[in-house]
Amino acid sequence: MKKLIASLAFITPLASAAQCDLDSQYVQAHYQVSNQQTTTNALAKDQQFTLWRTPHQVAEQGHELVEVWQQLRNQQIRPIRYFQAQQRGIEYQPTEVHGQQDWSTKYQLVSDNFIAKMTLTNEQGEGCERLQNYQLVQGDTKIELAWLVNKKLISSMRISKPQLTQTLSLVSVHFDKADVLQQFANWDSYQTTDYADIGDNESDPFLAKMINLGFIEHGASGFYDANGKALSGGHSH
C-alpha cells in the first residue's frame, strides 16, 4: 500500500477545462501588436496593451487610455473610458454604444462566433496549456489564430492582407485575483462624467480637450493607441 501511495505521489493530474476556466477568471495579460507593411517590409512602431478581466468586467489598458466594459445583470454591456494621466473617466450607457455588443469579443478579444467560423488545423498541449490553431481566409485576408482554449486567451493572432500584416502576441500572463481587483479599484476611484452630461460641462478643461480631440465618440471595440485612435486591422470582424 505504501508503494502504491508513493507511486501516486508522482502523478500530476491534468486540470480540467472547467478548473482552467475558473483559474483564469482574474487575468492580467500583456499583449504586443506588430504591424508590417508587406510590400516594403517596413515595420511600424509596435503597440502594447494589457488585458485585465474579472468574470463581469474587462479592460484594455494602453499607455494613456483604458477601455473598460462591464457586463450588467441584463447582459447589456456598459463601457467606461479612462484617461490615466488625468485620472478622469467618461461613462456610457449601453444604449449610447453603437456596433457589436458581444461579451465574448470583449472578454477574450475574439468572439466565440468568429472562432466557430474558422477551421481548426491542429491541437497541441494538454490541460490549461491546450492550444488550438485555427485558420480563416476571407477574400484577400488570411487570419491565423493560436487559441489557449481552456484559458480563453489568444496566444497569437495574425491578420495578413496584401499590403499589411498585423500580429497580436501574448507576451506574459498572470492570474492574481488581488492584483486584478486592485487595478479595477484604482480606475474606479477616478472622477467620471456621464457621456450625456459632457455638453453641459464644456467649461471643464479636460472635457473641452476631449471634445476637441474627438475622444468621446465611442467606436467599436478594437486596439487603441495612446490617442484613443483605433488601430488598423483590429477587431473589424
* pLDDT per residue as tens digits for the range 44-84: 678 899 999 999 999 999 988 899 999 998 888 999 999 99
| pLDDT score at 14 | 61
Q: What pLDDT, on a 0 to 100 scale, did the predictor assign at position 108?
A: 93
Considering only the C-alpha atoms of the chain, give the largest distance between any 2 of them, rounded to a whole number of Å.
Answer: 79
Position 146, amino acid: A
Beta strands, E only, 104-194: 119-124, 131-138, 141-148, 153-160, 164-174, 191-194
Locate 167 and state its grid cell.
500580429
Would you place residue 41 in the very low, low, confident or very high pLDDT band (cuts 50, 70, 90)? low
Is residue 230 scored above 70 in pLDDT? no
Q: Which pTM was predicted?
A: 0.81
pLDDT band at 16, cuts 50/70/90?
confident
The residue type found at 162 is P
CA distance 131 to 129: 6
Q: What pLDDT, in 10s, does the model give residues 97-127?
A: 766 678 998 999 999 999 999 999 999 999 8
Q: Which residues of 25-61 are buried (b: 16+ CB within 10 A; e: fewer)?
A: ebbbbebebbbeeeeeeeeeeebebbbbbbeebbbbb
pLDDT band at 39 (very low <50, low <70, confident <90, very high): confident
Query: What is the tens place of the pLDDT at every residue in 164-216?
Result: 899 999 999 999 999 999 999 999 999 998 888 877 777 888 887 776 665 54
Sign of the Cα torsion 113, 114, 117, 122 reads: negative
Distance CA 43, CA 36 (A): 5
Residue-level pLDDT at 207 = 81
Average pLDDT over residues 13-35: 85
